[in-house]
A and B are shown apart, each in its own frame.
Chain A
Amino acid sequence: MLRNLGMYFRLVGCDLRSQMTFRLSFWIDLFSTMAVNASMFASLYLVLERFGNIGGWGLGELAFLYGLAETSFGLMDMIFSGFDYDYFSTLVREGRLDQILLRPVPPAVQVMGHRFVLRRVGRILQGAAVLILSFFLVDMFWTPLKVAFLPVVLASQVVAMGALFIAGSTLTIWTIQRVEAINILTYGGVELMSYPASIYPRALRAIFTYILPFFFLSYYPALFFLDKTDPLGLPVWPPFLAPMVAGGMLWLALRFWKFGLKHYQSTGS
């Protein structure tokens, strides 16, 4: 375990060094990524100037949901870059997955260490800025529990979405091509987590509460942080399920990953 962790950091270190060789493009990429994501929030902000709120959630509260989801997606996208299924599918297509299997280090460690895309920092910074802004907009009432729980929620979102990246990559072992429909879960997931659950139709709400429990990662924790009551009147514990949900998703994803590699070995490329 420790050995693998060491190997992981070595690999990431190497990848970071190779990214440093492209300085200017790095900054251009960073700023364009920031612009892309900031425009989404700007659009929401401008529309709220006319409407005031969405489903009873004001700008500050929406900014909290949005900032949290963006920050964690950015972090996830950076840490799990190797499992970005667009990238991973090229590993499968070009036979580079074989090379990974020929090395005496667990494949998941190698894939994660293979790629650590630093320019995702743009998205993280932009998300974090909105999140911090939201603290002031809603005049957040901080308690020790909230201070301690915020990083947990953030980490839970990162892990849960990382699990989806792993699952999406595993699928490409079968399909060879990237599976565009998985975007529904990943990019769709961030979009979904950026708004209060109460605005969605009942069927969607049920799916993303009980089957793919995204709302336990954002909406319920947000109720706790913002001292809001759930219109559906839930008990006090749902906000704290986030780490369990994330852990469960990661466990399932890794099982699927192992299964996928077995299948890969029985079919060749």
Chain B
Amino acid sequence: MTAIISVRDLRKTFRVLVRRPGLGGSIANLFAPHYRSVQAVEGVSFSLQAGELVGYLGPNGAGKSTTIKVLTGLLVPTGGEVRVDGQVPWEKRERYVKGIGVVFGNRPTLWWDLPVIDSLELLQPMYDIPAERFRYNLVEFKRMLELDEFINTPVRSLSLGQRMRADLCAALLHEPKLLFLDEPTIGLDVVAKEQIRRFVLDINHRRGVTVLLTTHDLTDVERLCERVMILDHGKLLYDGTLAALNGRFESAWTLKVDFEEEYPDVSVAGLPAPQRVGRQALYLFNHRELNTAELVQQLMARFQVVDLEVRRPPLEETIRRIYAEQLLTK
């Protein structure tokens, strides 16, 4: 099987104007602008197989958006090779974009003053979508995304969640093989987020659309992606399954125990001393060295236990640790 996206040694350098402070500085900026190079992406390589749904993660300024912009033909890279579905995105852009769908979470893609339906109908001639396919897709997406309740409302009066649903529909009417989602759930409430996730999963499973998704919401990742790529400072730190990532980098699990009475010493050999509040104690343990059942058995054997609660650290914490402690830099 050949890759639908292949990126090799992608690099992108921006020139940024350095602003000097003060009135004198302003005048100097005007006549002798001073630039500084910023490496947004430094040698990123990866490939995606058709039908994959991949999460592309990283802190702000890591280079995620730059990568997406290169892949969608909006930016020409400084170096490296990019092939998407056999084409170079930024060459013959008008032809290339016919085969992809793009949604940027923080900006509207539809015509601001037009009712949603008018906006969607404009796309049919624009993308040369056969009328029959267009009708069929529109009916299906309207149902899945529940667009009917606001289909005659101008885009400017939609809520953020409604707009995102309309944008998703617009990005898929021409049946692209590939869908790029840049922060699709940003600023949405829980219900709207869930609806969007269900939709993305569905079009990935049933229509086989390949999806590359950037997000800050790790619930998105846990719900949607088997594979994740982590980017920081323009470099790819991790590319693999979510499960393997958790296995390697998850920090300590916690076990909260309520005892029958206040025992003088509740420490467990090989574990740091627990935090104690009255009859309650909180243990930190590494689940790869000591499994939960063993620990619980030990405690039950020694003490009268009333209540137990095991907590796995959320993915957020794992990822935060990866950035903060630079766990993945060689």
Please list the residues of chain A having a beta carbon within 8 angstroms of any beta carbon in chain B. Answer: 6-7, 10-11, 14-15, 17-18, 21, 94-96, 98-99, 101-106, 262, 265-268
Given A102-B72, A102-B102: A96 and B107 within 8 A (CB)?
Answer: yes
Interface string of B107-118 (1 = CB under 8 A from A): 111010110001
Interface string of B66-91 (1 = CB under 8 A from A): 10010011111000000000000010
Asked whether, in the complex, the Cβ of A18 is within 8 Å of the Cβ of B66, the reply is no
Please list the residues of chain B having a beta carbon within 8 angstroms of any beta carbon in chain A. Answer: 14-15, 66, 69, 72-76, 90, 93-95, 97-98, 102, 104, 107-109, 111, 113-114, 118-119, 122, 125-127, 154
Count, A-B residue pairs, CB within 8 A: 68
Q: State the Cβ distance, A179 to closest chain B Cβ, in Å.
A: 14
Q: Of residues A10, A262, A265, which shows the largest number of chain B Cβ atoms within 10 Å of its Cβ? A: A265
Given A104-B95, A105-B94, A267-B14: A6 and B126 within 8 A (CB)?
Answer: no
Task: Across the interface, name the chain A residue whose C-beta is closest to B110.
Answer: A99
Q: List 9 A-B contacts (CB under 8 A).
A: A10-B122, A17-B114, A17-B118, A18-B154, A98-B74, A99-B109, A102-B109, A265-B90, A268-B69
Residues of B within 8 A of A262 (CB): 76
Identify whether the interface residues of A are mostly helix, strand, loop, or mixed.
helix
Asked whether, in the complex, the Cβ of A265 is within 8 Å of the Cβ of B75, the reply is yes
Residues of A within 8 A of B98 (CB): 104
Q: State the Cβ distance, A7 to closest chain B Cβ, in Å.
A: 6
Task: Across the interface, name the chain A residue whose C-beta is closest to B106.
Answer: A95
Asked whether, in the complex, the Cβ of A104 is within 8 Å of the Cβ of B107, the reply is no
Asked whether, in the complex, the Cβ of A106 is within 8 Å of the Cβ of B76, the reply is no
Asked whether, in the complex, the Cβ of A104 is within 8 Å of the Cβ of B125, the reply is no
Asked whether, in the complex, the Cβ of A101 is within 8 Å of the Cβ of B74, the reply is yes
Q: State the Cβ distance, B120 to closest chain A Cβ, in Å.
A: 12
Asked whether, in the complex, the Cβ of B94 is within 8 Å of the Cβ of A104, the reply is yes
Given A101-B73, A101-B74, A267-B15: A14 and B118 within 8 A (CB)?
Answer: yes
Residues of B within 8 A of A266 (CB): 75-76
Task: Across the interface, name the chain B residue whose C-beta is closest to A106.
Answer: B94
A96 to B69, CA, bound (A): 13
Task: Across the interface, name the chain B residue whose C-beta is closest to A22.
Answer: B113
Task: Across the interface, name the chain B residue whose C-beta is closest to A268.
Answer: B75
Asked whether, in the complex, the Cβ of A7 is within 8 Å of the Cβ of B126, the reply is yes
